[in-house]
Structure 1
Amino acid sequence: MEVSIYGSLAWIVVLGAIAQWVGWKLKIPAILLLLGAGFLVGPVCGFLDPDEVLGDLLFPIVSAAVAIILFEGGLTLKFSDLRESGLTIVRLVSLGVVVTWALVFVMAKTLLGFDVMLSALFAALLTVTGPTVIGPMLRTIRPRGKVKYMAKWEGILNDPIGVILAVLVFEVLIAGHGAKGGEIIIMGLLKTVAIGIGLAGISGGLLLGLVKVKLLPEFLHNFVVLALLLGAFGVSNHLQEESGLLTVTLFGVILANQRLLDVRHISAFKENLQIMLISMLFILLAARVDPKTVDAINWGSMLFLAGLILIVRPAAVLVSTIGSGTNWKERVLLMMLAPRGIVAVALTSLFTLKLENAGVPEAANMMAVMLLVVVGTVGFYGLLAAPMSFRLGLSNPDPQGVLFVGAHDWAISMATELNKIGGDVVLIDSNRFHVHRARRQELIAHSGNVFSEEFLEELDFSNIGHAVALTANDEVNAFAQTTLHDYIERADIYHLLPEKQTNPQDNQAKKMNPLFSDEATYSFFEKQLAAGATFEHITLRENFDMAAFDEEYGARAMLLFCIGEEGEVRIFSAKTKITPKEGSTLLFLKLAVEPE
């Protein structure tokens, strides 16, 4: 039965969603499942032929999707990240790229049997490190210090740099300019950079100008930004082939570092779009693989993969970090953060097709080796980077610390009691006097606003796995779930119920993650503590279980936190049920009067 274009795309999206969910559930990189799914429905079973379904639209769609992905990456690049690690980042995307290109060129020629120009092209394609896989890895690892900034900037900037390099090498290869090849590459680079900076500046200036003069309503922000980035991408590529990826990346960087427009809603929209695009692209491109090229997977290609991981990446990191102040632990972790992703696969697929049409049949082997590299690097780094980071003391795989939004008197008392029983606590408050008092109690506290993206970027979230919003402002408490979800899972962000109870049928009420109980409002705690209520803790034992606790305290206690024997923190909520086990320590508010 023939399936329509819509039908094919629909079940590709469904298959992508399933792969993403299974990856999340099993805690394995979803890219491996997406590639497996694409290979299964394509060359293995013959259910999907992307070229037949999309025809000439396939690669324009792939290019536009990659542009959106890189723009979203650019939106995460803040110049403030460069304060401590700017030198290393510059070296990684310059010296690191050169070292990678040179070493991969030698290995491609000797181990894969490619000729000189094909080796140069394949080496250029492998200078990219894939923000689509580094981003999720960094969110999982949550490394301390400079590593996360270095890896993030490198992963995003290397993509357009590697693409431009590959395109210029391809032009030399396909045109056979010989001795003039170096001149072509240098002039191409200069032209690409000039076009990228110019169009990114025009696009950013136009958008911010419309916002400043109030000619662009908020509901059109996402649509206009999408139109501008695709327009700039198209014009850039028209002026210089494949220069559009640099243009859209710089456009994202410009928006990320201006103060006129809050880009959080734009970033959230693009992030959701990115997940769908990545899922579709990996399935589509894996489905294009010619089964005959599997012969390219042999001992030579396996040694090539091993050399890429064990020789090329360590060499690139060592050369890039000499004299930079980066310690050996950070260097080792950087060596574990070089997976290849969708850009490498997409460009390899495109160049393979062009070279085959130009009469270079051995180019088909590039795609098979590239898929091996993606699977191998994502599998190796994805599975080993997190435990290695933990062994190096640079991250915590299961952070249990609690972020307190609000450092007023009773929040400090609650945090102090939680700290006594082994809970890691960090408090933030915009009131410097509150912060000073918290520090006098030997608590970690920072002065800043939960609405400030720059402030949150500066916070160390490596040990924080939960957040509780305890301020007197109901809007601040509710909004904390929006501002903090980039750093903490939304299900682990709680806030006090508003003073005026929201109708339970309202959509907003359903999104709430209310703290402690249905009575737990700011004024409730104020009244209780003024009347003599106290924060206390008790450990459950064989002779004093939960039933005994209920019998002794009953309605005179409001349960707040439960600390397990292994240090795991669970927070009591009006929407969830916790059954504390023997050995758990309960933090509770011993009420002065029973709640009405």
Structure 2
Amino acid sequence: MLDSVLFQIAMIITIGVLSQWIAWRFRLPAIVIMSLAGLIIGPFFGLFSPQETFGEIFSPIISLAVAIILFEGSLSLDFREIRGFRHSIVRISTVGALIAWLLGSLAAHYLAGLSLDVAFVIGGLFIVTGPTVIIPLLRQAKLKERPATILKWEGIVVDPFGALVALFAMEVVFFRNQMISGTSLLLFFGASVLAAVIGAGVGFSIGWLLERGYIPEYLKSPIVLGSVLLVFVLSDAIMHETGLLAVTAMGIVMANMHLSSLRDLLHFKENISVLLISSVFIMLTASLSIDTLLEILNWHMLAFVLAMMFVVRPLSIWLSTIGVGLTNKERTLIGWIAPRGIVALTVSGFFADVLVKSGFEGAEIITALTLGLVFSTVLAHGFSIGWLAKKLGLQATEESGVIIVGGGSFTAVLAEAIQSFDKPALIMDREWGRLYKARQLNIKTAVGDILSEHTEFSVDLTPYETLIAASGEDAYNALICHRFLPEYGREHIYQTPMHTGDPSDYSKTLGGKTFLDQGYDIHTLNHLVDEGYTIRKTTLTEQYTYSDYEEDQKSQTTIPLFAVDQDNNLFFLEDNKKRSLDGVTIVSLTSPIRKIIKAIEKAGNSEVSPSTDENV
């Protein structure tokens, strides 16, 4: 059964997705888990060998997957995102890449023992990082906006250029050794320009057709996906490795046409990319041999890898970012994070084959050298990015916060209660006046429509893991929940109960989960706060259980809002009915009568229940 092609395909996808889930569940770098999973089922235990199973179609499958991943990444490269630090990205992608190419080539020659010709070629390839490794790391680390955006743009933009730089270097080496004529160099430049033109032209044409309704909704994603594959294959047929440039150009053009249906395309491509990244990493690592892995332990290779990580990368970033406005902490973080991934692994095999067949000495160790760099950077950067960002103060937040859409009395005191647990809270509203109460309580606020594109680029939503739609308009709340469902997930999207009509007017697929019981709509909650209701915290103990809490609250109007456990994790009681509540602090909106009862108890020196009960 293990030899069945269908079985291996199913297992590769399953193990890849399972690795992603394990990484999410235990807050580990997804790339590391996927790589280890591939090594376990491949060279360590010999359960699968995808390269043997798929034979001649192994490399084409990997190449097409990389093309889709790179296109999906480039679809997010909207130039509006980099206002204020465009110079940093341009410098790193040009001057920084050139410095890394030259220094990497010298390291490959003097430390890894490659000939100057081979080192010149492979040094060009090693400037790449790529979305397959950068984007999972950024998702895990939750960096601040500027370093995260710079790393993302560098990874996507430099990816195709790394392959082209290596291809150009190989053409120069062949020309220097009189193996080709000068015409071939001109053809290389011509093919590169043509690939970019093909990608940009197809991207613009598809975007034009999408906007004018010439493509039906159900065919939009399939047609775009098919076009990406066609552009990649056509460009690659003209000249090898130019397909990556073509699909990147196609994605960037479409991203900056500001298409109305772009977000739907992005969600579709993101889902595919998760499957492809998982599967491709499993396939590549599972196809390695023990001999190749042992080659990595050669001290020459270890010295090269260490030089690339601790000398070449930091030096190229620090030199290329002089005078562009980045802080030393940002330059330190960016100068450390440069994991290599799928593109380096797949493209290095092509160059190794060509150079070995052409008789260049040392080219046979290119695959092992690439593998050593990939694994070392993935492990080192995967486990260190969060720690280093925290030390440098470049993490958006250590705690997962809450964004509340809708200003008012209730949302202001709710946000204040959330902030009292050292969790970030943001209240956003389309009208400045509705945020008056929040500003009085020193709550972070933002004016604007969360559904607008302008807000997407002006408000950093990274620190907020949970969204509560609490505006005065039921339809607007439902629309907000529907819009942000793919980003936050259904478990982290809430909306206040409807105050008009029937709750069944909105399906579960449109709105979010209901925040509080029906009847406590936002207008009622605002009225209660205006009437004197206050936030109260009650800590449960073995002596004072949740049952005691419920019994005590029967004599007064109390509305449980959320709870925080001993590890400072915020959750909603409705979602955790089976959760142990020992040591949990329940935050409630309580009637003013509670103050009167407490005052009477204090005056009469009566015994009170052994719970921690206080006002915020």
TM-score normalised by L of structure 1: 0.89
Alpha-carbon shift at residue 469 of structure 1 (Å) = 1.2
Alpha-carbon shift at residue 380 of structure 1 (Å) = 0.7
Distance 1:282 1:416, change over 3 A: closer
Counterparts of 1:167 and 1:142, CA distance in 2: 35
- Structure 1 residue aligned with 2:389: 389
- Show the 5 A alignment for 1:353-502: 353-358=353-358, 362-396=362-396, 398-419=398-419, 423-435=423-435, 438-484=438-484, 488=488, 490-499=490-499, 500=501, 502=503
What 5-or-longer segments of structure 1 have no aligned partner?
none
Is the Cα contact below 8 Å between 1:514 and 1:575 reproduced in 2? Answer: no
What 5-or-longer segments of structure 2 have no aligned partner?
595-616
Q: Which moved more, 1:366-375 or 1:268-277?
A: 366-375
Using the aligned pairs only, state the percent identity.
27
Q: Do structure 1's residue 561 and structure 2's residue 562 form an aligned pair?
A: yes
TM-score normalised by L of structure 2: 0.86
- Structure 2 residue aligned with 1:112: 112
- Structure 2 residue aligned with 1:253: 252
Partner AA of 1:325 in structure 2: G
Q: Do structure 1's residue 68 and structure 2's residue 68 form an aligned pair?
A: yes
Q: Which moved more, 1:403-412 or 1:46-55?
A: 46-55
Counterparts of 1:184 and 1:327, CA distance in 2: 45
Counterparts of 2:47 and 2:441, CA distance in 1: 65
Q: Which moved more, 1:164-173 or 1:365-374?
A: 164-173
Counterparts of 2:396 and 2:82, CA distance in 1: 24
Q: Do structure 1's residue 231 and structure 2's residue 230 form an aligned pair?
A: yes
- Structure 2 residue aligned with 1:139: 139
Report the secondary structure of 2:513's partner residue.
coil
- Structure 2 residue aligned with 1:23: 23
Partner AA of 1:102 in structure 2: L
Report the secondary structure of 2:575's partner residue.
coil
RMSD, aligned CA = 3.2
Partner AA of 1:65 in structure 2: A
Q: Deviations over 1:45-90 (max 9, x none)?
A: 4443434322322222211111100011101112122212111101
Q: Which moved more, 1:162-171 or 1:521-530?
A: 521-530
- Structure 2 residue aligned with 1:79: 79
Counterparts of 1:370 and 1:227, CA distance in 2: 31
Distance 1:417 1:164, change over 3 A: same
Partner AA of 2:127 in structure 1: T
Is the Cα contact below 8 Å between 1:561 and 1:569 reproduced in 2? Answer: no
- Structure 1 residue aligned with 2:509: 508
Is the Cα contact below 8 Å between 2:399 and 2:424 reproduced in 1? Answer: no
Distance 1:400 1:10, change over 3 A: closer
Q: Deviations over 1:234-287 (max 9, x none)?
A: 222233322121111121112222233331111111111111111222222223
Is the Cα contact below 8 Å between 1:402 and 1:465 reproduced in 2? Answer: yes
Report the secondary structure of 2:80's partner residue.
helix
Counterparts of 2:180 and 2:389, CA distance in 1: 42
Alpha-carbon shift at residue 342 of structure 1 (Å) = 1.0
Look at both structures and tell me which one has the larger radius of gyration over its CA atoms. Answer: 2
Alpha-carbon shift at residue 163 of structure 1 (Å) = 1.1
Q: Which moved more, 1:477-486 or 1:444-453?
A: 477-486
Is the Cα contact below 8 Å between 1:69 and 1:274 reproduced in 2? Answer: yes
Counterparts of 1:562 and 1:36, CA distance in 2: 37
- Show the 5 A alignment for 1:309-388: 309-358=309-358, 362-388=362-388
Alpha-carbon shift at residue 377 of structure 1 (Å) = 0.6
Report the secondary structure of 2:451's partner residue.
coil
Q: Which moved more, 1:24-33 or 1:68-77?
A: 24-33
Distance 1:276 1:182, change over 3 A: farther
- Structure 2 residue aligned with 1:522: 522
- Structure 2 residue aligned with 1:207: 206
Alpha-carbon shift at residue 2 of structure 1 (Å) = 7.5
Distance 1:361 1:277, change over 3 A: farther
Is the Cα contact below 8 Å between 2:404 and 2:428 reproduced in 1? Answer: yes
- Show the 5 A alignment for 1:24-103: 24-103=24-103
Is the Cα contact below 8 Å between 1:417 and 1:535 reproduced in 2? Answer: no
Q: Which moved more, 1:309-318 or 1:38-47?
A: 38-47
Partner AA of 1:307 in structure 2: A
Aligned length: 589
Q: Deviations over 1:164-185 (max 9, x none)?
A: 1122223445x45437989679
Is the Cα contact below 8 Å between 1:401 and 1:466 reproduced in 2? Answer: yes
Alpha-carbon shift at residue 448 of structure 1 (Å) = 1.6
Q: Which moved more, 1:329-338 or 1:514-523?
A: 514-523
Report the secondary structure of 1:36's partner residue.
helix
Is the Cα contact below 8 Å between 1:426 and 1:443 reproduced in 2? Answer: yes
Counterparts of 2:592 and 2:220, CA distance in 1: 49
Distance 1:362 1:497, change over 3 A: farther
Counterparts of 2:55 and 2:361, CA distance in 1: 21
Report the secondary structure of 1:552's partner residue.
helix
Partner AA of 2:244 in structure 1: L
Partner AA of 1:444 in structure 2: K
Q: Which moved more, 1:107-116 or 1:200-209?
A: 200-209
Distance 1:213 1:579, change over 3 A: same
Counterparts of 1:119 and 1:248, CA distance in 2: 28
Distance 1:182 1:486, change over 3 A: farther
Counterparts of 1:181 and 1:581, CA distance in 2: 76
Is the Cα contact below 8 Å between 1:516 and 1:571 reproduced in 2? Answer: no
Distance 1:505 1:81, change over 3 A: closer
Is the Cα contact below 8 Å between 2:43 and 2:286 reproduced in 1? Answer: yes
Counterparts of 1:463 and 1:162, CA distance in 2: 33
Is the Cα contact below 8 Å between 1:131 and 1:156 reproduced in 2? Answer: yes
Distance 1:88 1:352, change over 3 A: same
- Show the 5 A alignment for 1:254-333: 254-297=253-296, 298-333=298-333
Partner AA of 1:403 in structure 2: I
Counterparts of 2:185 and 2:350, CA distance in 1: 23
Counterparts of 2:537 and 2:443, CA distance in 1: 21
Report the secondary structure of 1:558's partner residue.
strand
